[in-house]
Structure 1
Amino acid sequence: MAGGINVDVEFLGGLDSIFGGLTKAKCIVTRKDNNVPTMRDLLAYIVQNILVDREKDLCVFMQEENVRPGILVLINDTDWELEGELNYKLNNDDLISFTSTLHGG
């Protein structure tokens, strides 16, 4: 797994506003122990490398160590609940979509 796993990420439903306007990003996710990275590792990567203002916006995206309720997560167009959620092992060229279902009114 030299070099890590290449993953495409989408931020939809207004989430782009906490990621500097990015709706899409390419990520290379690695683990220190050389095991295959999981969704848990991808979330840590996103928070460390893409989230613009961690102090202000982390609570919009994360709750404790998981994605905040109200954010739909798809792995290759499949609900991540069917794929193992945080324990899903990433594959090269996975498409991970985060869509906020919460809208102001």
Structure 2
Amino acid sequence: MKISLEFRGGAELLVSNIAKHSVDLEGPRWTMAQLLKWVKENLIEERPELFLQGDSVRPGILVLVNDADWELLGQLEYDLQENDNVLFISTLHGG
């Protein structure tokens, strides 16, 4: 299954400063929970605690799937679809 991942608002710093990733996931069914674990294991290079808290994203990271808030789609239980675009936006900024 091919999907696109985007990291914005500073979240791209956690993934080698590469904002867009095209990903080919093995298998017929993937949930957002599985995707977050995959991102942690395959894309996050350091300090995964800045992206994840427990099994979900940290507070302050907005997740959009095809421009819709993932909270409307079931969050961790959402079943990813072919060609989905998942966008992670950090809304926290240091000062």
TM range (shorter): over 0.9
Taking every aligned residue pair, what percent have the same amino acid on both sides?
40
Alignment map for 1:8-47 (pairs within 5 Å): 8-30=4-26, 36-47=29-40
Segments ≥4 residues shifted beyond 6 Å: none
Larger radius of gyration: 1
Q: What TM-score results when the alignment is normalised by the length of structure 2?
A: 0.94
SS of residue paired to 1:52: coil
CA distance in 2, matches of 1:46, 1:26: 12
**SS of residue in 1 equivalent to 2:37:** helix
For 1:56-67, list aligned pairs within 5 A. Answer: 57-67=47-57
Aligned partners of 2:15 and 2:49: how far apart in 1? 13
Amino acid at match of 2:25: V
> Aligned Cα RMSD in Å?
1.1
Conserved? CA contact 1:30–1:41, under 8 Å:
no
TM-score, normalised to structure 1, is 0.86
Structure 2: runs of 5+ lacking an equivalent: none
What SS does the corresponding residue of 1:90 show, helix, strand or coil?
coil
Cα shift at 1:28: 2.0
User: What is the 5 A alignment of 1:1-105?
Assistant: 5-30=1-26, 36-53=29-46, 57-105=47-95
